[in-house]
Amino acid sequence: MPKAISRPAPRLAGGLAVPGDKSISHRALMLGGLAVGETTIEGLLEGEDVLRTARAMAALGAQTTRTGDGRWRVVGVGVGGLREPEDVLDLGNSGTGARLLLGLLASHPLFAVLTGDASLRRRPMERAMAPLRLMGARFLSREGGRLPLAVTGSGDLVPVEYRLPVASAQVKSAVLLAGLNTGGETTVIEPEPTRDHSEHLLRHFGAELRVASEGNGRRISLTGWPELRGQRVVVPGDPSSAAFAAVAALLVPGSQVTLHNVGLNPLRDGLFRTLVEMGAKIRRSQERLLQGEPVADLTIDGSQLRGIEVPPERAPSMIDEYPILAVAAAAATGRTTMRGAAELRVKESDRIRQVAQGLAQLGVEVEELPDGLVVRGTGGSLPAAPGRLIETAMDHRIAMSFLVYGMAARGAVAVDEVGFIDTSFPGFVAAMNGLGARIELAETA
């Protein structure tokens, strides 16, 4: 696995087309596979995570064909038409792919086994399995609901009204996907709103869906056995991927970078709202809608940031962006407090711990909280620790965050593994170097 060294960048400038949204890419492939007729997808993220989902849908009977750069054709089997796979479904590093597939598999009379790489096999699946068991599916897994696990689905699930104990777009989506092939009305109640890409795409493909406010959260009800029809889907750029180039441009003085086609769903744009509150100069242009998803170009100028207290209730709208926010906080003036992000403990790594250890190793004052971090910023260029190697724990977002750190540091920063970056941002190093970064790859000794 290659390591990488990120050296201080003199200035970042230019434009970047952000890779397609990973969450929407997974869902477009799955719903295209359940629709009747042909679905065309443009801008699909061709990272390893999404490609695993494409292979899984093909193994379940859908036709998935790459027709060009980011362009795919999917011929679906209709709701209820998935077939039993002949082999184990390997989801690699994709937690989203694994959890959403559990919902699809649960509602079909078939047997399937899911596995993944070493990182995914450590991540719990119990929260997604619990409501699916209530509907009638059966699972056999390792302790703690971990992969590999076996699914025995049923074509005769019962609809449920399920209240999520913890806000989770993945669990919500797994239940809704199971509800597609379940008679009656399946309802999910979330304690606070989470990303709603599934709701937008379900409507786009023809599902009957009702969404209403309930307390601080939402009630989402889906009518089963719809006739989904193949559609054209244009995938916007992933805001989680855009976050790295955006923070790099903010932290390197004199920079100006334009990020094109960024998805700005209000349930996903928490990082950009937070950065603006910290003093970031971010301008929107070319605002438009794709399948109900707001999209815009973002122009970011180098900015002096100030520390703030991030509202804990904002966590679901930026849960994947806390590692790179912590890097921005390290360069800000004053203290930044981040709470409400306990979910980070069970991502590809314990992201709270990995970020805290990495920042402390580099000389940043940081406090690890059970559900977040407190970072005391330097108010300028970031300290470096020559000879130290930042451990990424095979986590793509940790790796990218500390490579961005190195661009704004007083010396080079090295990270131990970067191959996993391709799961979400293929070509990250080349893209950042094209803007003026100085990242070098080397084989790990």
Say yes or no: 74 and 167 in one domain: yes
- Out of 185, 203, 234, a domain closes at 234
What's the domain count of the chain?
2
Is 407 a residue whose pLDDT tops 50?
yes
* Same domain flag for 108 and 170: yes
Pair 259, 140 in one domain: no
Q: What is the CATH number of the domain that holds 142?
A: 3.65.10.10
**135 with 206, same domain?**
yes
Say whether pLDDT at 347 is over 80: no
Residue 411 pLDDT class (50, 70, 90 cuts):
very high
Instruction: Determine whether 320 is an active site residue.
Output: yes
Q: For residue 29, how far is the Cα from the chain centroid?
A: 16
Question: Which pLDDT score is estimated for 1?
Answer: 61
Q: Please choose, from the candidates 300, 304, 284, the residue with its C-alpha nearest in 3D space to the C-alpha of residue 245.
A: 300
What is the average pLDDT across 234-263?
Answer: 97
pLDDT tens track for 205-217: 999 999 999 999 9
Structural domain of 31 = 22-234
Q: From 185, 208, 234, give the residue that closes a domain.
A: 234
Q: Environment class of residue 71 by beta-carbon count within 10 Å: exposed (0-12), middle (13-18) or buried (19+)?
A: middle
**Catalytic option among 49, 320, 395, 416:** 320
Domain boundary among 234, 257, 290: 234
| pLDDT at residue 445, as a whole number | 36
Query: Between these two residues, 136 and 394, which has the higher pLDDT value?
Result: 136
What's the pLDDT band for 355 if we cut at 50, 70, 90? very high
Answer yes or no: do 79 and 67 share one domain: yes
- The pLDDT confidence band at residue 344, using thresholds 50, 70 and 90, is confident
CA distance linking residue 106 with residue 76, whole number of Å = 18
